[in-house]
Amino acid sequence: MVWELNLWGSEGSLSLRPEDRNIEETIRRLALINAVSYEGKARKDSVLGRLLAEKPDLRTRVKEILPLISRVVREVDGLSLEEQRTIVQEKWPEELRKEKREEERVLPPLPNVEEYEQVVTRFAPNPDCVLHMGSARAIVLCYEYAQMYDGRFILRFEDTDPRLKRSALEFVDLIREDLLWLGCKWDAEYIQSDRLTIYYEYADKIIRDGQAYVCTCLPKKFRDLVSMKRSCPCRDLTPSENLQRWNRMLDGTYDEGQAVVRVKTDLDHPNPAVRDWPALRIIDPKRHPHPRVGEKYRVWPLYNFACGVDDHLLGITHIIRGKEHLTNQERQEYLYRYLGWEYPEAIHYGRLKIVGASLSKSEILRGVKSGRYKSWDDPRLATFAALRRRGIMPEAVRQMMISVGPGPADIVLSWENLYAHNRKLIDPIARRFFFVQDPIRLVVRKAPEEFMVDIPLHPDRPKLGSRHFEVNLRNDEASLLISRKDLPIIKEEEVVRLMELFNFRADMFEKDTVLATFHSRSYEEARNLSAPLIHWIPDGTGLPCRVVMPDCSSLTGLVEDDLRGVRPGEVVQFERFGFVRVDKVNGRPVVYYAHR
Q: How far is the CB of 401 from Zn ion (least distance, A)?
A: 44
Q: Is 72 helix (H, G, I), strand (E, B) or coil?
A: helix
Q: How far is the CB of 213 from Zn ion (least distance, A)?
A: 8
Angle of helix 62-77 relative to helix 21-37, nearest 10 degrees?
A: 50
Q: How far is the CB of 236 from Zn ion (least distance, A)?
A: 10
Q: How far is the CB of 215 from Zn ion (least distance, A)?
A: 3
HEC per residue, 264-318? CCCCCCCCCCCCCCEEEEECCCCCCCECCCECCCCEEECHHHHHHHHHHHCCCCE
Structural contact between residues 353 and 411, judged by C-beta atoms closer than 8 angstroms:
yes
Task: Kindly tell me which of 61 and 223 has the beta carbon lying closer to Zn ion.
Answer: 223
Angle of helix 21-37 relative to helix 93-103, nearest 10 degrees?
A: 80
Task: Kindly tell me which of 277 and 451 has the beta carbon lying closer to Zn ion.
Answer: 277
Task: Kindly tell me which of 217 and 580 has the beta carbon lying closer to Zn ion.
Answer: 217
> Which DSSP string do the residues of 123-152 spell out, in sequence order?
E---SSS--BGGGHHHHHHHHHHHHHTT-E
Task: Kindly tell me which of 264 and 441 has the beta carbon lying closer to Zn ion.
Answer: 264
Structural contact between residues 440 and 513, judged by C-beta atoms closer than 8 angstroms:
yes
Task: Kindly tell me which of 217 and 400 has the beta carbon lying closer to Zn ion.
Answer: 217
Pick the closest to residue 591 from 435, 450, 397 (CA basis): 435
Task: Kindly tell me which of 230 and 296 has the beta carbon lying closer to Zn ion.
Answer: 230
Contacts with Zn ion, residue ranges (CB under 5 A): 215, 217, 232, 234
Task: Kindly tell me which of 33 and 234 has the beta carbon lying closer to Zn ion.
Answer: 234
Contacts for 273 with CB less than 8 Å, ≥ 6 apart: 327
> Which DSSP string do the residues of 548-593 spell out, in sequence order?
E-TTS-EEEEEE-GGGGGSPTT-EEEETTTEEEEEEE-SSS-EEEE
Strands 318-322 and 466-471: unpaired
Q: Which amino acid is at 47?
A: V
Q: Which amino acid is at 240?
A: S
Task: Kindly tell me which of 215 and 547 has the beta carbon lying closer to Zn ion.
Answer: 215
Q: How far is the CB of 288 from Zn ion (least distance, A)?
A: 24
Q: How far is the CB of 254 from Zn ion (least distance, A)?
A: 13
Structural contact between residues 574 and 433, judged by C-beta atoms closer than 8 angstroms:
yes
Task: Kindly tell me which of 220 and 463 has the beta carbon lying closer to Zn ion.
Answer: 220
Pick the closest to residue 512 from 437, 434, 442 (CA basis): 442
Distance (Å, whole) CA 147 – CA 460: 34
Task: Kindly tell me which of 223 and 576 has the beta carbon lying closer to Zn ion.
Answer: 223
Structural contact between residues 401 and 123, judged by C-beta atoms closer than 8 angstroms:
no
Structural contact between residues 482 and 551, judged by C-beta atoms closer than 8 angstroms:
no
Q: How far is the CB of 221 from Zn ion (least distance, A)?
A: 8
Angle of helix 44-54 relative to helix 21-37, nearest 10 degrees?
A: 130
Q: How far is the CB of 235 from Zn ion (least distance, A)?
A: 7
Q: How far is the CB of 232 from Zn ion (least distance, A)?
A: 3
Residue 77 CA, distance from chain mean position: 37
Task: Kindly tell me which of 245 and 389 has the beta carbon lying closer to Zn ion.
Answer: 245
Q: How far is the CB of 260 from Zn ion (least distance, A)?
A: 8
Distance (Å, whole) CA 338 – CA 210: 10
Q: How far is the CB of 276 from Zn ion (least distance, A)?
A: 9
